[in-house]
Amino acid sequence: MISRRKFIQTTSLAGTCFLLTPELSKAGVFTGSPNDKVVLGMMGTNSRGLYLAQSFARIPNVEIGYICDVDSKVVEKTINEIFKITGKKPQGITDIRKMLEIKEIDAVVIAAPDHWHAPATIMACQAGKHVYVEKPCSHNPHEGEMAVAASKKYNKLVQMGSQRRSFTNVQALVKELHEGVIGRAYYAKGWYTNHRPSMGYGKEVAVPENLNYDLWQGPAPRVAYRDNLIHYNWHWLWNWGTGEALNNGTHELDVIRWGLGVDFPNKVVSTGGRFHFNDDWQTPDTQNILYNFPNNTAAEWESRSCNGFGIEKIGRGVIFYGDKGTLFYGGGNGYQVYDGDNKLVKDVKDDTKVDANNKVSPTEALDGLHMQNFIDAIRGKTALNCPIETGFKSTLLPQLGNISYRVDRVLHVDPSNGHILNDPEATKLWSREYEKGWELNV
């Protein structure tokens, strides 16, 4: 973990990037002093959520008041870890619905499994809370649209955890792209590689006493508990997870969409499969997704979950190709610009360590910028760097890729809203079935 002094020095830069907009002043933010305390409730704190709780706890005048997790051991561990940082123990809660009834909570941070992201976001907005939700912002496109609608209807700030939106040099590289540093950027390629082990074949066993499995499943249709599911391998099962494309690809595709200046594609196709192991894993461990956009640009995202040999010698990154040169982004906070003859003409360096295979926080020393931006927005000092409208568009790209993969064909898409055209089978995957009593409404 980075030191408190370095964290504060780093995060102090976040508020300088954007001016307060007229819309923000009406968005239900604090009206008092910028020094007002912000009380957070944390949902899902086993891994990434624990890291988020620890990081938010280090921001001045932010209180981690409540810890909500369906695993009692996780709740206890998180409370103790926050106590080490702040000297104060948060209150532990099992049911998110109970936590949302607590009036003193200003905002909820959601790092539960993917199938909970949008439902919890919608519920939190309805309860009058601002939201920081990890990517992807939804399990399926319809939920993403509903999360956008909830933010607007209930006048609450919702920030998606696309941390690179707050990295100062990534902001600079996008600005340079838009100003023509490589001419017209017309193609981009992103990638992610890892060396994940097999998840094996799970056995139906009794649910551990410390786990409320019914609440863990929440909105998802009920499936019997197996011993290889929790706390991580749910990522690779469609009922709860969204595969590597949304687990990691959301980050690269967000930078690509941002850099190319596009919203929705007009054509998407994906290929791949579960090639490396024979086990319970359902989502592809190897996948390519190709996109065409209506402004005469295109993009590609490639992943290999079970073979960590990097592309361009690194585990994740993005390259933008233009008619006058190339821009290389290595996933952290630096980038290089090459001219049309592949000569390096600009090298923006940042020595912050990036660990592409760290499943908790590959860009730990930079993530605080995004969290500080969220807190500053609540206090009315700045705009969100990745509001839910932006997060939904970037989440939709890998979701469309997964839908194409699952129906095994090209998707033609309405570029005005991202909806699938003339394909009833694919359109069925735009939403999902819910467990009775857990249906979503805004």
Asked if residue 178 belongs to a domain, the reply is yes
**Contact residues for 20 (Cβ-Cβ < 8 A; gap 6+):** 380, 381, 382, 383
Q: How many CA atoms lie within 13 A of 345 on its CB side?
A: 13
Structure-block tokens of residue 368: 């605080």
Q: In terms of residue numbers, what domain contains 380?
A: 4-165+367-387
Asked if residue 213 belongs to a domain, the reply is no
Q: What percent of the chain has pLDDT over 70?
A: 89
Give residue 347's Cα distance to chain centre. Answer: 28
Burial (Cβ within 10 Å: 0-12, 13-18, ≥19) of residue 175: exposed
Rounded Cα gap, residues 337 and 110, in angstroms: 36
Q: Residue ranges of the alpha helices (H) in 12-113?
A: 48-57, 72-86, 96-99
Tell me the per-residue pLDDT of 75-108, one tens digit each, with 9 for 90 and over: 999 999 999 999 999 999 999 999 999 999 999 9
How far does the chain reach from its first CA to its final CA, in angstroms? 38
Rounded Cα gap, residues 212 and 94, in angstroms: 8
Tell me the per-residue pLDDT of 310-360, one tens digit each, with 9 for 90 and over: 999 999 999 999 999 999 999 999 999 999 999 999 999 987 665 555 555
DSSP designation for 268: E
One domain for residues 8 and 149: yes
Q: What percent of the chain has pLDDT over 90?
A: 87
Asked if residue 216 belongs to a domain, the reply is no
pLDDT of residue 28: 41
Asked if residue 96 belongs to a domain, the reply is yes
pLDDT band at 6 (very low <50, low <70, confident <90, very high): very low
pLDDT of residue 354: 57
pLDDT of residue 355: 56
One domain for residues 378 and 420: no
- Averaged pLDDT, 238-245: 98
One domain for residues 100 and 120: yes
pLDDT band at 10 (very low <50, low <70, confident <90, very high): very low
> What total number of domains does the chain contain?
2
One domain for residues 247 and 153: no
The length of the chain in residues reads 442
One domain for residues 183 and 194: yes
Omega prior to 208 cis, within 30 of 0: no
One domain for residues 59 and 188: no
**Contact residues for 9 (Cβ-Cβ < 8 A; gap 6+):** none
Asked if residue 102 belongs to a domain, the reply is yes
Asked if residue 215 belongs to a domain, the reply is no
> Which CATH number fits the domain that encloses residue 402?
3.30.360.10
Q: Are 268 and 419 in contact (CB under 8 A)?
A: no
pLDDT band at 26 (very low <50, low <70, confident <90, very high): very low
- Averaged pLDDT, 378-387: 97
Vertex 416, ends 173 and 142: CA angle to 5°?
95
One domain for residues 371 and 309: no
One domain for residues 184 and 87: no
Asked if residue 12 belongs to a domain, the reply is yes
One domain for residues 238 and 158: no
- Calculate the average pLDDT of the chain: 91
- Averaged pLDDT, 394-400: 98
pLDDT of residue 361: 55
One domain for residues 146 and 113: yes
Asked if residue 28 belongs to a domain, the reply is yes
> Which CATH number fits the domain that encloses residue 371?
3.40.50.720
One domain for residues 156 and 185: no
Q: Is the pLDDT of residue 23 over 50?
A: no
One domain for residues 234 and 106: no
Q: Is the pLDDT of residue 21 over 90?
A: no
Please name which of 436, 385, 319, 313 lies closest in space to residue 18, comparing C-alpha atoms. 385
Rounded Cα gap, residues 263 and 397, in angstroms: 9
pLDDT band at 3 (very low <50, low <70, confident <90, very high): very low
Amino acid identity, residue 41?
Answer: G
